[in-house]
Amino acid sequence: MKMSAKHLGLIAICTLITLSASTPAWGEIVVTNIYSDLVASLQTDKSIYTTGENVLLTYEVYNPSDSPVEFTHYSGAAFFAYAFLGQEEVWYFPKAATANIWTEIFQPHETTVRHFAWDLDHEDYPPIGPGQYTLFASVHGSTAIGQGTVASTVITIVPEPATLMLLGSASLGLLLKRRRRN
């Protein structure tokens, strides 16, 4: 799937932030607050997953001000999430959103928490292989002074142990067969 200008903008913003800090490990959060008076964070339950394992994500939006913040959503979804391997988008949530415009009020010092999972084996997406993936979550819409929030984090997906053992056994068998010929 080719990336749109919106996706490239998300990557550019989060790349600049990621370059200014080290790659996050489990428990670390990358926070971005560029466009809005709200602060967003995205965290996974761990940093390394095996192929086929669900990635559990927590996306939080916080109002640090002493006043309520009115946020106008431009779609039916409360938030969006994306996963990229390099520059290729491999997953997004929700799969579809409506064109509804609606308003959400974030009270002073309120945190809204949303939990969701990335099913690595979901039939609607291509198979997810080993690699380092960048995850983004965002609220699309606007407040009085900004255009939403974006947060990102990085995870690594590794082959399941059985696959590694199978590859190791095959390699060892080929090596022994080659030795016998010589």
In which band, very low, low, confident or very high, does the pLDDT at 96 lie, cut at 50, 70 and 90? low
Pick the CATH number of 5-181 from 2.60.40.2360, 2.40.50.140, 3.40.50.720, 2.60.40.420: 2.60.40.2360
- pLDDT higher than threshold 70 for residue 124: yes
- pLDDT higher than threshold 80 for residue 130: yes
Please say whether the beta carbons of 129 and 21 come within 8 A: no
Model pLDDT, residue 156: 92
Q: How is residue 20 written in tokens?
A: 């200014």
- Spatial separation of the C-alpha atoms in residues 169 and 171, rounded to whole Å: 5
pLDDT in tens, 141-166: 766 666 667 888 899 999 877 655 66
What average pLDDT does this structure show over 70-76?
75
- Spatial separation of the C-alpha atoms in residues 86 and 109, rounded to whole Å: 35
Q: How is residue 68 written in tokens?
A: 């309520």
Please say whether the beta carbons of 73 and 151 come within 8 A: no
Strand partners, 54: none
- Spatial separation of the C-alpha atoms in residues 70 and 109, rounded to whole Å: 13
**Three-class secondary structure of residue 96 per DSSP:** coil
Q: For the chain, give the mean pLDDT.
A: 74
Q: 127 vs 173, which has greater pLDDT?
A: 127
In which band, very low, low, confident or very high, does the pLDDT at 167 lie, cut at 50, 70 and 90? low
What average pLDDT does this structure show over 62-91?
84
- pLDDT higher than threshold 80 for residue 25: no
